[in-house]
Structure 1
Amino acid sequence: MNFDFNELINNLKKNNYKLIGSGSCRIVYDLGNGYVVKVAKDVRGILQNETEHSTYQSCKSDFFAEILAASENHRYLIMVKAKRITDIRTVLRYYKVQKMNDLIKRPLFAEDIESKKIGSGDLKRASSWGIVKDVPVLIDYGLSQSTYIKYYRNKLFGRFRRLNYSS
């Protein structure tokens, strides 16, 4: 889908969007239209946005939150807005499983995770899930094993050049 990223950037510069979350490498703003934008803070965020975008485009399961658009450089990712989940048991109850490993092993989901080398650690955190149309879906699935090994395993936090708003 075509999305006007220049307008998005201008609105971000003007602080026209409500900040709803922030992690080590991305900031999330509510666009006020049922979608959010994940803005990469540095190269790690770009890689996570790219992983989420490619995962969503090729996923075979229904566990991943819808991605409407991504900028060409993956600095900006537009995703459906989800209601926060604070207890992972919400996900387990909905999918009628006892443990997250049981859910992760479901054939299509397992195939999606394996093909993109998504680490299972983040999948087990409640903050990686959200509710969209009464269904728990993954809203944070961009941390691949290669990104983790390259940027997180050696605890390189804070050693990356921050990005400024630009297209």
Structure 2
Amino acid sequence: MKKKIKKMIKGKKIIGIGKWRVVHDLGNRHVIKVAKSKNGRSSNKKEVIIYKSAPSRIKKYLGKVITHGFGYRFLIMKKYKRKFPRSKKYKRKLFALESRFIRKGIIPRDLNSNNLRLKNNGRIVIIDYGNFKKHRKK
């Protein structure tokens, strides 16, 4: 791992560990996702590409990507704290959101409550979309 990344995460609390990435709380309402492997870099790259290319109508449902670097070895995103409720109301909202993504050519995978949060206005936000698949338009 690059020295700069080590310096950025030194003393920072780990708030999530996945198969390919570790998420640290930077303490400034941002998190850093650090890739542990080639697959982690691929997930970071996918999140950056999807976020940058998403139409504004669905971009508002994606966790905001602030910056990335070093061949996608890390990715800094906005931090969202409000947990996703397990109510019927929000399950219906999630189903409608999933359909909206599919219509825009993005296949959402791994839409479980661990990867979802709520914004202050109650809107669903997806904080981990590294497994999503972008369909090419024909």
TM class by smaller structure: 0.7 to 0.9
* Identity value in percent: 30
| Residue 28 of structure 2 is aligned to residue 30 of structure 1 | no
Please give the secondary structure, in 1, of the residue aligned with 2:77: strand
Deviation at 1:7, TM superposition (A): 4.6
Aligned residues: 129
Code of the residue aligned with 2:128 in structure 1: it is D
Match of 1:153 in 2: none
| Residue 67 of structure 2 is aligned to residue 80 of structure 1 | no
Preserved contact between residue 20 and residue 35 of structure 2 (Cα < 8 Å): yes
Code of the residue aligned with 1:9 in structure 2: it is K
Which protein has the larger Cα radius of gyration, Structure 1 or Structure 2? 1
Match of 2:102 in 1: 110
Structure 1 vs Structure 2 CA RMSD? 2.6
Deviations 1:15-68 (A, max 9, x none): 321111111111000001010000011111111000001111111111101000
Match of 2:8 in 1: 11
Q: 1:63 aligns with which of 56, 61, 86?
A: 61
Bigger proportion of residues as strand: 2
| Residue 38 of structure 2 is aligned to residue 51 of structure 1 | no
Please give the secondary structure, in 1, of the residue aligned with 2:22: strand
| Residue 115 of structure 2 is aligned to residue 128 of structure 1 | yes
- Any unmatched runs of 5+ in structure 1? 147-167
Code of the residue aligned with 1:10 in structure 2: it is K
TM-score under structure 1 length normalisation: 0.66
| Residue 136 of structure 2 is aligned to residue 137 of structure 1 | no
Code of the residue aligned with 1:55 in structure 2: it is I
Preserved contact between residue 116 and residue 125 of structure 2 (Cα < 8 Å): yes
| Higher RCO, Cα 8 Å, sep 6+ | 1
In 1, Cα distance between equivalents of 2:66 and 2:3: 16
In 2, Cα distance between equivalents of 1:101 and 1:86: 14
In 2, Cα distance between equivalents of 1:103 and 1:11: 34
Deviations 1:117-154 (A, max 9, x none): x4x3412x0111122334320000011459xxxxxxxx
- Any unmatched runs of 5+ in structure 2? none
Please give the secondary structure, in 2, of the residue aligned with 1:110: helix
